[in-house]
Structure 1
Amino acid sequence: MALQLIEIKDYSLAPIGRGWGLRNFECTISEGDVIYIEGDRFDDTHLFLRALAALEKPLEGVFYYRGQALDFSDYRKLLPYKRRIGYMSADSALLSNRTIGENIMWQRYYLEGRKSLEMDDEVLYLCRIFGIEDKLDLRPSQVFRDEVRAAIIIRELIKGAEILLVEPAREMMSRAHYESAVQLTKEYLSKKVTAVFSYSSEPFVREAATKMVRIVEGKLEVIALK
């Protein structure tokens, strides 16, 4: 039986943007789950993804990670969980006062206590795939938007996250960069990574999915597919 990573119980979230908010829902995510989200309002699917990243404090309910309840009273208490999450969304950002390379290595250097920003073969491989290996000494404001997005993807992938939370951003990336992101996603799914996708129309995501989350008028339903 797969290990349960996340259990959300009796959860409610205030609306954002033009969404309904989410009311009194439950959801579990286990190792190896691949989930895609669809709904009637983008803001509500985005809200659910943010909730999984512990970026939204609930109005009520409990969020368990590996059986332990998360404490939303202090942001610092959420950091151990956030380090295990790879969050790639439209609202993900880079630090404007750091170079692209420093941003990519932020997790390893500042949070894992490594003494060097030297990139290993894995990181350099990912930089080459996205064609940003010659942009690592530049600031985010000095590169194109899709190159910023590529750096965010690399930063999150090298964290060694237990769960990937992905909001496809075809409109934010060039075709070449988007295709690179798709290829990498396929590679990670082949390794049985746990992942949640919001509004993904890619057939390979739906084929790999073990669950679907449907959100309509603020009501969330989890549907088992496999």
Structure 2
Amino acid sequence: MEEQPLVSYKNVSINQQGLGILCDIDFELHKGEFVYIIGKVGSGKSTFLKTIYGELDVCEGEAWVLGYNMRTIKYKNIAPLRRKLGIVFQDFQLLTDRTVYENLAFVLKATGWKNRAEIDERINEVLEQVGMSNKGYKMPNELSGGEQQRIVIARAILNKPEIILADEPTGNLDVETGCRIVELLREICSQGSAIIMTTHNLNLLSEYPGEVFRCENHRMVKISS
């Protein structure tokens, strides 16, 4: 029996503030896939991601994410959906008044973790996985941009998500640091999470191949796999 896609969009249209951003989207994401979405600023890359985590409504077509119908999803189901997703933002969005450890513990407690020993163990695991095992006591402003992005990735994988959405994760980083971040994401992908990454850095595509979709002229079209 064929495995169901994690994300399945058919003839999907997306509006934002009354404007048509993307239309006629056909898109599928399966376990372990690494997908790039490219396109100019304002072409709809981030808008597309927002529909996957329920920030924006899908106004036409069929849209399923991890078994949830995104056309009819109820507000009470948005939080359970997001617990199955990891989101990596370009601008980090770390809590600046808390240490790295406290940032990660906050997410675990907010998603139902209560046992202190289990919280400690999981935080240590993800920090080691992203190469930051000795940084738990640091404040975000004591870290470089690349280190902060590693913490953001650690935060995204805390609950072992089936899908990671990475929105321009290398956008604020120098080339070398950006490459290391993509290598880290690909390593996480190889362990089972599917990843959708938006980027305007086309050099990454040749160095770290994956499926590629381009947002252009209100369409999102597959250009390679």
Q: Normalising by structure 1, what TM-score?
A: 0.77
RMSD: 3.1
- SS of the aligned residue for 1:220 comes to strand
Aligned residue identity for 1:165: L
Distance 1:11 1:215 in 2: 14
Q: How far does the alpha carbon of each residue in 1:147-194 deviate from its partner, in whole angstroms, 9 at most, with x for none?
A: 433321111123201112223443423566545423322322333531
Q: Please report how far the alpha carbon of residue 54 of structure 1 lies from its aligned counterpart in structure 2 after TM superposition.
A: 2.5
CA change 1:175–1:104 in 2 (3 A) is farther
CA change 1:149–1:191 in 2 (3 A) is closer
Aligned to 1:9: 10
Q: Tell me which moved more, 167-176 or 189-198.
A: 167-176
CA change 1:161–1:99 in 2 (3 A) is same
Distance 2:224 2:176 in 1: 33
CA change 1:175–1:215 in 2 (3 A) is closer
Contact 1:105/1:155 (CA < 8 Å) preserved in 2? no
CA change 1:171–1:223 in 2 (3 A) is closer
- Is residue 185 of structure 2 the alignment partner of residue 182 of structure 1? no
Aligned to 2:29: 29
Unpaired segments of 5 or more residues in structure 2?
Answer: none
Q: Please report how far the alpha carbon of residue 79 of structure 1 lies from its aligned counterpart in structure 2 after TM superposition.
A: 1.3
Q: How far does the alpha carbon of each residue in 1:98-133 deviate from its partner, in whole angstroms, 9 at most, with x for none?
A: 432121233333213232142444224146x24x73
Aligned residue identity for 2:114: R
Unpaired segments of 5 or more residues in structure 1?
Answer: none
CA change 1:94–1:39 in 2 (3 A) is same
Aligned residue identity for 1:185: L
Distance 2:179 2:40 in 1: 27
Aligned residue identity for 2:9: I
- Is residue 128 of structure 2 the alignment partner of residue 125 of structure 1? yes
Q: Please report how far the alpha carbon of residue 82 of structure 1 lies from its aligned counterpart in structure 2 after TM superposition.
A: 0.9
- SS of the aligned residue for 1:36 comes to strand
Contact 2:86/2:165 (CA < 8 Å) preserved in 1? yes
Distance 2:183 2:221 in 1: 29
Q: Normalising by structure 2, what TM-score?
A: 0.77
Q: How far does the alpha carbon of each residue in 1:76-108 deviate from its partner, in whole angstroms, 9 at most, with x for none?
A: 421111111111122551234443212123333
Within 5 Å, give how 1:184-223 maps onto structure 2. 184-199=184-199, 201-202=203-204, 203-206=206-209, 209=210, 211-223=211-223
Q: Tell me which moved more, 27-36 or 62-71.
A: 62-71
Aligned to 1:58: 58
Query: Aligned residue pairs: how many?
Result: 216
Aligned to 2:95: 95
Q: Please report how far the alpha carbon of residue 36 of structure 1 lies from its aligned counterpart in structure 2 after TM superposition.
A: 1.4
Aligned to 1:173: 173
CA change 1:53–1:142 in 2 (3 A) is same
Distance 2:121 2:85 in 1: 21
CA change 1:110–1:93 in 2 (3 A) is same
CA change 1:104–1:223 in 2 (3 A) is same
- Percent of aligned pairs with the same amino acid: 18
Contact 2:126/2:157 (CA < 8 Å) preserved in 1? no
Aligned residue identity for 2:79: L
